[in-house]
Amino acid sequence: MDASAGGGSRRHLISLSDVDAGELDRLVGTSVEYAAGGWGGRPLDGAVVGVYFRRTSTRTRTAFSVAALRLGAQIIAYGPDDLQLNTGETVEDTAKVFAGMLDGLVARTAGPTEELRALADQQTMSVVNAMCAVEHPTQALADLTTMTQKFGRLEGLRVVYVGEGNSTAVALALALSRYPGVRLELRTPLGYGLDAETSLRAKEYAAMSGASVEERHDLGELPADADVVYTTRWQTTGSSKADPRWRDAFEPFRVDGSVLAACPEAVFMHDLPAHRGEEVTAEVLDGPRSIAFAQANNKLYSAMAALKWCIAG
């Protein structure tokens, strides 16, 4: 299949709220297949994908670059100072130029979702959100891929998320709430939880699917039957916190041996990079119950699934 420019209307992956439950399940299924070695040809042969990262990235940038190449595409990489956006060109004008030359654009902006939607306001170039200020959708695809590999299913899992209600937490809530019987518990510092819109939407999804999404602001009474304990960095890439004493609020939310002891059957997940001694202790991150680095490797397969779905259909 030739996925080169001019192939008609493209799909975008800006937010998981734009993707229905069936499409999400297909994306995860494709990612799991890729992880198992089922690559099945080069569906993006002839395509050109732009990879634009305004903020630092190790896993996501590498994953999308390798994913595009393995699927047959060529890539053009843009750094934070490479585009005329820095000299005052509008996002809309940039989108028009890109859309005439690229088949897909993978963008980490750390800005508002509206910027990505402006880039996607055309019919010939797919846009993939590689993390904005609000949501990190392809991280959730990697997370669900990892859980499927570990447990053979997503339905009925009990997941405890510990830490800030950041872009990773948003994507995880919007994704897991689609699966029947899932119980997602978010344990977030007071004032650093999920935004109200995401919380409402995730609970609406859960009501339709038979899942549950709950949030509280302490680590008491952790569920002994949890399948997964998940945390992220306290300081999200490209962000800052207004309160200079914000760490005081986060200190009680460190994942250490006592947290895993309270959830004796749970595996540990982390979106990485990690700061050992802050959000997680070394004994947990490097311990036998940690699957964080397998989870990181799955970012490649979730990137492959996203690019194939968006560009090749």
177-197 confidence digits (pLDDT tens):
999 999 999 999 999 999 999
Q: What is the mean pLDDT of residues 133-138?
A: 96
Is the pLDDT at 17 greater than 70, yes or no?
A: yes
Q: In the chain, pLDDT over 70 holds for what percent of residues? A: 96
Burial of 255 (0-12, 13-18, 19+ CB in 10 A): buried
Residues 130 and 145 in one domain: no
Residues sharing a CB contact under 8 Å with residue 248, sequence separation 6 or more, in sequence order: none
CB 130 within 8 A of CB 104: no
The residue segments making up the domain with residue 77 are 16-135+299-312
Residues 216 and 283 in one domain: yes
Assign 237 a pLDDT band (cuts: 50, 70, 90): low
Alpha-helical regions (H) of the chain? 21-35, 59-70, 91-99, 113-119, 137-151, 167-176, 196-209, 246-250, 257-262, 282-285, 292-307
Residues 75 and 168 in one domain: no
Q: What is the CATH number of the domain that holds 209?
A: 3.40.50.1370
* Predicted TM-score (pTM) of this structure: 0.95
55-75 confidence digits (pLDDT tens):
999 999 999 999 999 999 999
| Mean of all residue pLDDT scores within the chain | 95
Confidence at residue 39, expressed as pLDDT on a 0 to 100 scale: 74
Q: What is the mean pLDDT of residues 165-186?
A: 98
Single out the residue of 313, 312, 301 nearest to residue 47, CA to CA: 312
Residues 267 and 147 in one domain: yes
- Determine the Cα–Cα distance for residues 13 and 126; give it in Å rounded to an integer: 8
Confidence at residue 5, expressed as pLDDT on a 0 to 100 scale: 42
Residues 55 and 147 in one domain: no
Is the pLDDT at 22 greater than 70, yes or no?
A: yes
- Residue 264 CB coordination number (10 Å): 10
For residue 104, the cross-strand partners are 49, 126
Task: Show the tokens assigned to 243.
Answer: 């309160």
Confidence at residue 241, expressed as pLDDT on a 0 to 100 scale: 87
Residues 129 and 34 in one domain: yes
251-288 confidence digits (pLDDT tens):
999 999 999 999 999 999 999 999 999 999 999 999 99
Task: Show the tokens assigned to 281.
Answer: 């202790």
What is the DSSP-derived secondary structure letter of residue 229?
E
Confidence at residue 211, expressed as pLDDT on a 0 to 100 scale: 98
